[in-house]
């Protein structure tokens, strides 16, 4: 049997997903590249007709999820690596987004990931092998103002991935959550939605954040090709990491958050740990 892996990657029309699909195919593995509009992947399929398949997938649509995974197994016989990359960001303070925007953010970034994972897990358990890679974010570890809802979805992925890793390790399945900082993927111009109820005088952080978007869509941000090569290297390593920050900005942000938490909880530790019942009360 071929040792080439089969990768199932969501959100491959652009950004990390597209770059990852291209790198995986270039190294000879097989890819089921999914997108809401698979016709945008035509050039990829023409370049790799034997090892690439383009499949329609809206992660919020359960029928799409089931059909795409069935097609992947029908075409290549298995799934070795699931990469949950599909998602987008909602920008705005907690007061500034509409209820509909908030719901759609969670439906895509959290429930969409769960839809795909829950459908793929029985396949991986049956194989007694596999690797689930969830694309999180630095802001899923350290939240920024005016990115609260996007951060919350990525925080959710952190918790889900951590629990999942412990659950599936005995079944031969590995789990990695990737935590990128800013990369030149076009994300800020392509995949960020701004809240409908902006209050610029109350929350200037939203204006400041949207004004900073151009620097995230230029070469001063990280190189996505280098990033996805590290993801591939991690997947192929003997002991892949659970957490994989990408970029110096991500490492420094996570390290600063860890230090901040340590300092904050130390101040109240002595007082707040004195919570046992008094001896007289227990007697």
Q: Could you list the active site residues?
A: 150
| CB count in 10 Å sphere of residue 190 | 12
Q: How many CA atoms lie within 13 A of 85 on its CB side?
A: 28
Helices within 95-223 (DSSP H only): 99-106, 112-127, 148-168, 187-190, 204-211, 213-216
Task: Determine the Cα–Cα distance for residues 177 and 137; give it in Å rounded to an integer.
Answer: 9
DSSP codes, 29-53: -EEEEEESSGGGGHHHHHHSTTTEE
Q: Which long-range contacts (CB under 8 A, 24 or more apart) does 72-79 make?
A: 72/6, 72/8, 72/32, 73/123, 75/32, 76/6, 76/30, 76/32, 77/6, 78/6, 78/123, 78/127, 79/6, 79/7, 79/8, 79/32, 79/120, 79/123, 79/124, 79/130
Task: Determine the Cα–Cα distance for residues 12 and 192; give it in Å rounded to an integer.
Answer: 17
Q: Beta strand 30-35 with 173-180: parallel, antiparallel or unpaired?
A: unpaired
DSSP codes, 227-275: HHHHHHHHHHSSS--SEEEESHHHHHHHHHHHHHHHHHHHHHHHHHT--
DSSP structure class, residue 216: H
């Amino acid at each position: 049997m071929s040792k080439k892996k089969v990768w199932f990657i969501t959100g491959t029309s652009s950004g990390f997903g597209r770059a990852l699909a291209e790198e995986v195919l270039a190294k000879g593995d097989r890819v089921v590249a999914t997108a809401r509009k698979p016709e945008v992947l035509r050039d990829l399929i023409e370049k790799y007709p034997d090892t690439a398949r383009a499949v329609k997938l809206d992660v919020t649509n359960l029928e799409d999820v089931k059909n795409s995974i069935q097609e992947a197994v029908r075409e290549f016989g298995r799934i070795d690596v699931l990469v949950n990359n599909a998602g987008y960001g909602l920008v705005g303070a907690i007061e500034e987004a509409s209820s509909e925007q908030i719901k759609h953010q969670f439906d895509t970034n959290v429930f969409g990931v769960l839809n795909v994972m829950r459908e793929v897990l029985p396949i991986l358990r049956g194989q007694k092998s596999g690797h689930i890679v969830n694309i999180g974010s630095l802001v899923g570890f350290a939240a920024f103002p005016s990115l609260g809802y996007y951060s919350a979805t990525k925080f959710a992925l952190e918790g889900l991935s951590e629990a999942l890793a412990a659950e599936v390790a005995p079944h031969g399945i590995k789990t990695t959550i990737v935590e990128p900082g800013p990369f030149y993927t076009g994300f800020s111009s392509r995949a960020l939605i701004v809240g409908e109820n902006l209050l610029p005088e109350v929350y200037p952080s939203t204006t400041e954040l949207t004004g900073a978007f151009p620097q995230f869509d230029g070469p001063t941000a990280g190189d996505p090709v280098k990033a996805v090569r590290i993801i591939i290297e991690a997947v192929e390593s003997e002991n892949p990491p659970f957490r994989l920050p990408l970029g110096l900005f991500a490492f420094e942000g996570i390290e600063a958050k860890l230090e901040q938490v340590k300092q904050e909880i130390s101040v109240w530790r002595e007082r707040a740990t004195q919570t046992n019942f008094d001896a007289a009360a227990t007697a």
